[in-house]
C-alpha cells in the first residue's frame, strides 16, 4: 500500500459529472436572468448534487466532490453573459446567436476571470475582513458529507435545508406565502419606503457576512430610500398620473442606482489600490519564481507560470480574433483591426481591476448578493467612452459608424461580463478549496474546464429561448404572443447606457454624486479604523444603494441575528450556526433551480401557483409570519444546543 499517494481529486468522472450538472444550472440561470433579471447561486447546489452523485457511485472523496462543484458552479455562473448578448438582438445587429462567435468569446472571457483570480487568491483569502460566506458554507457542506464524526452538524444542515426548501416552494412555487413586504409613506411628491424580503438563503448569507457588512448595507439602503429619493422627488419633474410610490421606484431604477454604481466604482478602485502592494507582490512571485510546483506546499501550488502565460496568450488571441471577425461584418479591415486591438487592450487592462472588485464584493457579501451588474455598468460606460474617443479621430464616422461602435461595445462587453462573473464566483470556490485542503492548481484547471463546458451550452439555450419566447421589443416572428416575451432587463439597460453615451443622453450627474459620496465614505471608514471604532466598508454601502432594499434588509437581519446569538452564547454557537445558515442557502438554492427548470419547461413564471394575484396581501401577511417564525427558530436552535457545541470548529 502506498501511504503517500495524493487523494483522489481531479478525475475524468468528476469532469463528466460537472459537465452534466452544468447543463441544468446554465439553462436555468439564462432563463431566470432573461425573465426577471436574477440568477440562482450555483456553488452550493452543485456541491450538494455532486456529493449525492459521488456517494451513489462510491469511492468519492471530499476533494473530488469539491472539484465537481467548482467546475459546475463556474459554468452556471458564466450564464451571466445574458446581461449583454441579447442586447445585440434588441439593437437589430443579430437575428440569432451565432454559435462560434458566442461560445468562443464567452469561454475566453470567462477564462480571463480565472487567470486574474489566481494572484488574487493569495491576497484575498487571507484578508480577515472578507468572510466569503458562500465559500465557508460550501466547505461545511462538503465536510459534513465526507464524515460522520459530527452528526449534529449534518442534522443542522438538513434541518435548515428542509425548512428553507419548504418555505421557498410555498412562496416561489405555490405562491401561498409572499416573498417580501414593503411599507410606503408619502409626503407630497415624496415617498419613504421600508422593504424586507423573506428569503431563507439571504438570512443565512447575512449570518455568514457578519455585522459590519450588514450594517453598512442597511446604511446604504436607508440613505437611498429615506433621504436621497425623497429629495430627488421634490427636484425632478413628476410624470403626470404617476403616484408618489411609483415615482420613487422610477427614481431608484433610473437615478439612484447610478449613485450606487458610481460609489461601487470609486470604492472598488480604492480597494484595488489598498491591495496594490500585496497584489503586485503576488503577481510577481507567481510569474517569476522557477520550480513553483517543486518547492511549494500542495495546498499552495497554483498553475505554473508557463501554463498561465500560455493560456493567457491563447485566450487573448481568441478574444482578438472574435472581435475582428465581428467587426469585419460591418467595416473595412483597417477599422476592424483598430476596433479589435482596442477591445483586447480594454479587456486586458480592465480585467484585473474587474476581477479584484468583483472578488472583493463576493468575499464581503457573497456571490449571489454581489451587484455584478453595477461593475458591468461601469465597464459599459468606460468601453463606450473609449470608442467615443476613437470616433473623434475620424474612425467609425457617420451614422453607420456610430451604429457599429454601439454594437461592438455590446459584443466586447460580453468578454468583460464573463470575466467579472467568473471572478465573482471563483474566489468563493477557492475559499472552499482552502478550507477543505484542495490543490489550487487543480481547482484552477477545473474552473477553466467549467468555462468551456458552460460556453458550449449557452448559445443553443439563448437561441431556444429567443425563438420560443422572444424578447420585449424584439420578436423573432410576426404573430407571436408578446405577453410571453422575456423582459431581458439587463440587456435593455446595457443597450440604453451604451447608446445613451454615443447619443449624449446619459445622466452623468448621478454617477458623479456616487463618486463624491464614495470619497467621503472612504475617509469616514479610515477615520473609524484609526479610532478603533469598527469599520463602515464603503463598498458595502454602495451595494446597499444599488441592490433592492428588500435584499439589503434581509442580509442585515441575518447579520444582526448572528451577532445577537453569538453574544448570548459567548461564541459557542459558531459551528452549528454556520451549518444552519448553510442549510438555509442550500434549501432555497436547490428549490430555486428546480422551480426555474419547471418554469422554463412550462413557459410560465409560476405554473404551480394556487393563490390569485388579488390575494397578494394575504400571502404577504402569511409570508411575514413564516419568516418571523424562521428567525425565531434559527436563534432558539443555536441557543438551545450551545453546550453540545462548545468546542466549535
| Averaged pLDDT for residues 118-132 | 77
Q: What is the tens place of the pLDDT at every residue in 478-515?
A: 776 666 677 676 787 788 888 888 887 777 888 888 88
State which of 54-63, 578-587, 621-630 shows the largest mean pLDDT: 621-630
The per-residue pLDDT for 108 is 93
C-alpha cell at 189: 411628491
pLDDT band at 107 (very low <50, low <70, confident <90, very high): very high
pLDDT band at 644 (very low <50, low <70, confident <90, very high): very low
The per-residue pLDDT for 646 is 42
In a domain, 567, yes or no: yes
Q: Which residue has the higher pLDDT, 518 or 606?
A: 518
pLDDT above 50: residue 648:
no
In a domain, 228, yes or no: yes
Q: Which DSSP letter does residue 460 get?
A: H
| Averaged pLDDT for residues 169-193 | 87
The per-residue pLDDT for 1 is 41
Global model pTM greater than 0.85: no
Q: Which of 137, 241, 244 is nearest to 190 (CA)?
A: 244
In a domain, 226, yes or no: yes
Q: What is the tens place of the pLDDT at every residue in 172-183?
A: 888 888 888 888
Q: What is the tens place of the pLDDT at every residue in 594-618?
A: 776 777 677 666 778 887 777 878 8
Report the alpha-carbon distance of residue 520 to residue 507 in Å, rounded: 22
pLDDT band at 2 (very low <50, low <70, confident <90, very high): very low
- Structurally, the chain folds into a number of domains equal to 1
State which of 39-53, 314-328, 425-439, 455-469 shows the largest mean pLDDT: 314-328
In a domain, 298, yes or no: no
The per-residue pLDDT for 166 is 93
pLDDT band at 368 (very low <50, low <70, confident <90, very high): low
What residues are paired with 183 via a beta bridge?
194
With a CB cutoff of 8 Å and minimum separation 6, the contacts of 502 are: 384, 387, 388, 402, 405, 406
Instruction: Count how many Cα atoms sit within 13 Å of the Cα of residue 468 in the half-sphere of its side chain.
Output: 15
Whether the CB-CB separation of 562 and 578 falls below 8 Å is answered with no
In a domain, 647, yes or no: no
Angle at 349 between CA 288 and CA 416, to 5 degrees: 115
Report the alpha-carbon distance of residue 143 to residue 152 in Å, rounded: 13
The per-residue pLDDT for 98 is 92
Q: 220-224, 354-358, 478-482: lowest mean pLDDT where?
A: 478-482
Report the alpha-carbon distance of residue 8 to residue 461 in Å, rounded: 33
| Averaged pLDDT for residues 302-328 | 90
The per-residue pLDDT for 645 is 43
The per-residue pLDDT for 277 is 63
The per-residue pLDDT for 481 is 65
In a domain, 461, yes or no: yes
Report the alpha-carbon distance of residue 151 to residue 557 in Å, rounded: 28
Chain centroid to CA 449: 19
pLDDT above 90: residue 632:
yes
Q: 50-54, 194-198, 334-338, 516-520: lowest mean pLDDT where?
A: 50-54
Which domain does 623 fall in, by range? 12-235+244-287+305-640
In a domain, 649, yes or no: no
pLDDT above 70: residue 153:
no
C-alpha cell at 71: 467546475
Q: 85-99, 139-153, 313-327: lowest mean pLDDT where?
A: 139-153
pLDDT band at 630 (very low <50, low <70, confident <90, very high): very high
With a CB cutoff of 8 Å and minimum separation 6, the contacts of 211 are: 559, 560, 562, 563
Q: What is the tens place of the pLDDT at every residue in 444-484?
A: 888 888 888 888 888 888 887 788 778 877 888 777 666 66
In a domain, 294, yes or no: no
| Averaged pLDDT for residues 203-212 | 78
Chain centroid to CA 355: 12
pLDDT above 90: residue 315:
yes
pLDDT band at 293 (very low <50, low <70, confident <90, very high): very low
Q: Which residue has the higher pLDDT, 32 or 517?
A: 517
Q: What is the tens place of the pLDDT at every residue in 537-594?
A: 787 788 788 778 888 888 889 888 988 888 887 765 666 777 788 778 767 766 776 7
Q: 157-171, 282-296, 301-315: lowest mean pLDDT where?
A: 282-296
Whether the CB-CB separation of 447 and 70 falls below 8 Å is answered with yes
pLDDT above 70: residue 317:
yes
pLDDT above 80: residue 280:
no
Whether the CB-CB separation of 298 and 439 falls below 8 Å is answered with yes
pLDDT band at 104 (very low <50, low <70, confident <90, very high): very high
The per-residue pLDDT for 567 is 82
% of the chain exceeding 70 in pLDDT: 84
The per-residue pLDDT for 466 is 83
Whether the CB-CB separation of 216 and 556 falls below 8 Å is answered with no
pLDDT band at 83 (very low <50, low <70, confident <90, very high): confident
Helices 372-392 and 333-365, interaxial angle, to 10°? Answer: 160
Amino acid at each position: 500500500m502506498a501511504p503517500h499517494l495524493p487523494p483522489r481529486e481531479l478525475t475524468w468522472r468528476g469532469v463528466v459529472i460537472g459537465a452534466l450538472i452544468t447543463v441544468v444550472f446554465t439553462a436555468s440561470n439564462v432563463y431566470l436572468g432573461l425573465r426577471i433579471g436574477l440568477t440562482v447561486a450555483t456553488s452550493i447546489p452543485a456541491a450538494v448534487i455532486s456529493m449525492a452523485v459521488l456517494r451513489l457511485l462510491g469511492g468519492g472523496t471530499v476533494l473530488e466532490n469539491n472539484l465537481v462543484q467548482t467546475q459546475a458552479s463556474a459554468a452556471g455562473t458564466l450564464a451571466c453573459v445574458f446581461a449583454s448578448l441579447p442586447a445585440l438582438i434588441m439593437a437589430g445587429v443579430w437575428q440569432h446567436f451565432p454559435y462560434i462567435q458566442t461560445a468562443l468569446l464567452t469561454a475566453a472571457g470567462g477564462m480571463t476571470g480565472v487567470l486574474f483570480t489566481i494572484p488574487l487568491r493569495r491576497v484575498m483569502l487571507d484578508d480577515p475582513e472578507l468572510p466569503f460566506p458562500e465559500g465557508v458554507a460550501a466547505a461545511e457542506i462538503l465536510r459534513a458529507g465526507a464524515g460522520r464524526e459530527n452528526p449534529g452538524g449534518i442534522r443542522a444542515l438538513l434541518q435548515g435545508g428542509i425548512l428553507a426548501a419548504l418555505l421557498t416552494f410555498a412562496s416561489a412555487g405555490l405562491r401561498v406565502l409572499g416573498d417580501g413586504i414593503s411599507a410606503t409613506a408619502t409626503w407630497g411628491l415624496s415617498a419613504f419606503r421600508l422593504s424586507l424580503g423573506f428569503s431563507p438563503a439571504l438570512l443565512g448569507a447575512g449570518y455568514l457576512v457578519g455585522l459590519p457588512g450588514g450594517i453598512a448595507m442597511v446604511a446604504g439602503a436607508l440613505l437611498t430610500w429615506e433621504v436621497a429619493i425623497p429629495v430627488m422627488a421634490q427636484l425632478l419633474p413628476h410624470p403626470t398620473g404617476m403616484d408618489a410610490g411609483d415615482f420613487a421606484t422610477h427614481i431608484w431604477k433610473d437615478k439612484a442606482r447610478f449613485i450606487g454604481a458610481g460609489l461601487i466604482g470609486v470604492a472598488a478602485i480604492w480597494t484595488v489600490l489598498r491591495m496594490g502592494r500585496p497584489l503586485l507582490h503576488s503577481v510577481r512571485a507567481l510569474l517569476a519564481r522557477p520550480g513553483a510546483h517543486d518547492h511549494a506546499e500542495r495546498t499552495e501550488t497554483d498553475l505554473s507560470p508557463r501554463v498561465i502565460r500560455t493560456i493567457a496568450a491563447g485566450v487573448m488571441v481568441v478574444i482578438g480574433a472574435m472581435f475582428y471577425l465581428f467587426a469585419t461584418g460591418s467595416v473595412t479591415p483597417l477599422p476592424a483591426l483598430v476596433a479589435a486591438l482596442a477591445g483586447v487592450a480594454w479587456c486586458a487592462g480592465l480585467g484585473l481591476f474587474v476581477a479584484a472588485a468583483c472578488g472583493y464584493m463576493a468575499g464581503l457579501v457573497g456571490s449571489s448578493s454581489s451587484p455584478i451588474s453595477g461593475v458591468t455598468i461601469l465597464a459599459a460606460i468606460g468601453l463606450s467612452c473609449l470608442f467615443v474617443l476613437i470616433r473623434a479621430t475620424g474612425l467609425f464616422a457617420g451614422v453607420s459608424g456610430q451604429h457599429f461602435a454601439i454594437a461592438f461595445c455590446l459584443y466586447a462587453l460580453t468578454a468583460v461580463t464573463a470575466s467579472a462573473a467568473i471572478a465573482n464566483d471563483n474566489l468563493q470556490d477557492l475559499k472552499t478549496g482552502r478550507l477543505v485542503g484542495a490543490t489550487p492548481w487543480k481547482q484552477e484547471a477545473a474552473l477553466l474546464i467549467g468555462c468551456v463546458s458552460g460556453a458550449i451550452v449557452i448559445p443553443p439555450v439563448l437561441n431556444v429561448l429567443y425563438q420560443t419566447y422572444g424578447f420585449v421589443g424584439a420578436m423573432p416572428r410576426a404573430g407571436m404572443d408578446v405577453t410571453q416575451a422575456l423582459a431581458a432587463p439587463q440587456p435593455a439597460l446595457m443597450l440604453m447606457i451604451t447608446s445613451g453615451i454615443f447619443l449624449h443622453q446619459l445622466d452623468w450627474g448621478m454617477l458623479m454624486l456616487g463618486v463624491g459620496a464614495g470619497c467621503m465614505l472612504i475617509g469616514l471608514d479610515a477615520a473609524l479604523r484609526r479610532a478603533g471604532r469598527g469599520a463602515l466598508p464603503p463598498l458595502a454601502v454602495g451595494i446597499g444603494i444599488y441592490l433592492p432594499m428588500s435584499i439589503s434588509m434581509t442580509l442585515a437581519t441575518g447579520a444582526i441575528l448572528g451577532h445577537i446569538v453569538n453574544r448570548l452564547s459567548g461564541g459557542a454557537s459558531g459551528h452549528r450556526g454556520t451549518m444552519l445558515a448553510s442549510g438555509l442557502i442550500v434549501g432555497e438554492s436547490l428549490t430555486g433551480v428546480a422551480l426555474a427548470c419547471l418554469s422554463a419547461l412550462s413557459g410560465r413564471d409560476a405554473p404551480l401557483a394556487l393563490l390569485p394575484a388579488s390575494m397578494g396581501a394575504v400571502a404577504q401577511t402569511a409570508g411575514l409570519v413564516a419568516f418571523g417564525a424562521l428567525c425565531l427558530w434559527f436563534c432558539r436552535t443555536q441557543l438551545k444546543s450551545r453546550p453540545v457545541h462548545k468546542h466549535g470548529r
